[in-house]
Chain A
Amino acid sequence: MHIPLPRRSGAGLTRGLPAVLSVVSAFALWEIYVQISGISPLILPAPSRVLEQMLLNREVLWRNTVPTLQATLFGFSLSLSVAFVLSVALDFMPRLRRALFPIFVVSQTLPLVAIAPLVVLWFGFDLTPKILLVTLVTFFPMLVALVDGYDSTDPEIEELLYSMGASKRVVFRRARLPSAMPYFFAGLRISITYAVVAAIFAEYVGARAGLGIVILNAKNSFRPDLVLAAVVISSVLTLALFAATALLQRVALRWRDAKGDQ
């Protein structure tokens, strides 16, 4: 007997409902609290005020969002390329892996507060230090995901390919790389959530423009509403990037959703 399943989009909407409800009610509670307590907007501005300020300052905010987005995207692209090239090199050369992996782990122990001002000192106030800091923060989860993903390859599939006369390179391309894809996307999703925050932090330490500068100036002039406006934009950016990777994963890993009749 064939039981028709609900269409995916409809099921997705229903699944997303609890999340939407919880976010909306959190903001509602916040708004109500501010209205009832009469707390000063210099301490805690209401969501409505943050929204109002976003509209009033939309030009300034937009002008400062562009450099942040640039740093995020360039940094993340560089990070992705570095992670991929390194992962392939480490997979083909286990010795290199043993030699370099400790260095990568150490790179993740460096406190960003200490390293960011140094990178700005060395590379100036332009885009370069932001790109480097985003790369430093985001490449490691992807590298680990790829290296672990290669190792997750079914040994019987590899043995089968070798029995067909495949070279090491062919085995990598046809078995190890596709096997690593689910792991890679898991790492990608983790990395992308760090990217925007890393870019903003790099700007905060020293830049000419960017959301980090907006936050720094707003904080110094006691404007928590503007700080929060920048925070909202940063969250929206991260969510959009996260959604983009989720979409990419859906397309790239279609085979994982293929179960039963279609």
Chain B
Amino acid sequence: MTVLDMKNVGLTLGKTDVLADISMHVAQGEFVSILGPSGAGKSTIFRLLTGALHSDRGAITCYGLPLTRNQQGFAFMPQSDALMPWLRILDNVTLGLEVQGVPRKEARARALPLFADFGLVGFEHRYPAQLSGGMRQRAALLRTVLQGRPMQLLDEPFGALDALTRMQMQKWFEARWQSARWTTLLVTHDVREAVALSDRIYVLSRRPATVIAEVAVPTPRPRFGSPTPPDAHALEAHLLDILLTQTGDTL
């Protein structure tokens, strides 16, 4: 079943053509990545989905219905963790539910059982500044999935972490995803991350963005922890090749 379907979506902001022609779809339980050079408009696609921007051309549907102003199909995780520094972790995590009008008590009852899976037990009443980068990112992810939306939008969730923490987080995330199977759209410019986590990958061109490649990743999971299989290596090299021709720099 298709959760998200974008057909020939285009967007012009002022005089800049940001998106030329974007068509993509995400099925229930599928993990799809959008890979592209910096400034290609990857995050812009998310802003269309969250309603912060509206497309000029084309159609976006969620479960076959066009996006309306008050659509609630997506839970969004921004690039920075965007945790509120003045709220304790528990209150940060239940923010989405409280905005939806769920009473605080019930929101907490729904959140607390998940703290163990997200490695946050004992930190419910800490402030974000008291947590490590990896923990903050897990808290932000918990806040995202707790909203109970049909689909998660993750905007470079591991981009701001140091290399070691990032690898730990990716491995942890793969395990979480395998048991929960959240329908996920991930924006990244990290080829290895895209290949390791995704069922399918869309590659964007530079601005104005079009989809220049769509590849399926056949490698069986779990992909972290075991040596990278040769077909995954070949795929990484292939994707990197496509991306490098798009950066426009000729050295």
Contact = CB atoms under 8 A, between A and B. Distances in A.
Given A163-B74, A259-B130, A156 B100 contact: no
A258 B130 contact: yes
B79 interface: yes
Contact of A166 (B52, B86, B99, B129): B99
Contacts of A178: 84, 86
A164 interface: yes
A157 interface: yes
Residue with the highest number of chain B CB atoms closer than 10 Å, among A164, A255, A262 = A164
Given A159-B82, A166-B99, A181-B86, 5 more contacts: A154-B80, A159-B76, A162-B52, A164-B96, A262-B130
Contact of B78 (A156, A170, A253, A261): A156
Contact of B86 (A161, A163, A255, A259): A255
Interface residues of B, number: 26
A164 B100 contact: yes
28 contacts: A154-B82, A156-B80, A156-B82, A157-B82, A157-B84, A159-B50, A159-B76, A160-B76, A160-B82, A161-B99, A162-B50, A162-B51, A163-B52, A163-B76, A164-B96, A164-B147, A166-B99, A170-B99, A175-B84, A178-B86, A255-B86, A255-B87, A255-B127, A255-B129, A258-B127, A258-B130, A260-B130, A262-B130
A18 interface: no
B78 A160 contact: yes
A165 interface: yes
A161 B51 CA distance: 11
Contacts of A260: 130
Interface string A47-73: 000000000000000000000000000
Interface of A: 154, 156-157, 159-166, 170, 174-175, 178, 181, 253, 255-256, 258-262
Contact of A156 (B79, B99, B129, B147): B79
B61 interface: no
A253 B79 CA distance: 26
B133 to A, nearest CB: 14
B72 interface: yes
A174 B156 CA distance: 25
Nearest to A162: B52
Contact of B95 (A156, A164, A259, A261): A164
A82 to B, nearest CB: 25
Contacts of A259: 129-130
Contacts of B79: 156
Contacts of A154: 80, 82
Interface in B101-132: 126-127, 129-130
A254 B109 CA distance: 25
Interface in B43-95: 47, 50-52, 70, 72, 74-76, 78-80, 82, 84-87, 95
Contacts of A160: 76, 78, 82
Contact of A159 (B78, B129, B130): B78
A262 B126 CA distance: 9
B98 to A, nearest CB: 8
A84 B96 CA distance: 27
A258 B126 contact: yes
Across the A-B interface, the 8 shortest Cβ-Cβ residue pairs: A163-B50, A163-B76, A258-B127, A164-B99, A156-B82, A156-B78, A255-B86, A178-B86
Nearest to A159: B52
Contacts of A161: 95, 99
A259 B128 CA distance: 9
Residue with the highest number of chain A CB atoms closer than 10 Å, among B50, B76, B80, B84 = B84
Contacts of B70: 165
A260 B96 CA distance: 27
Contacts of B84: 157, 174-175, 178
A71 to B, nearest CB: 34
B144 to A, nearest CB: 9
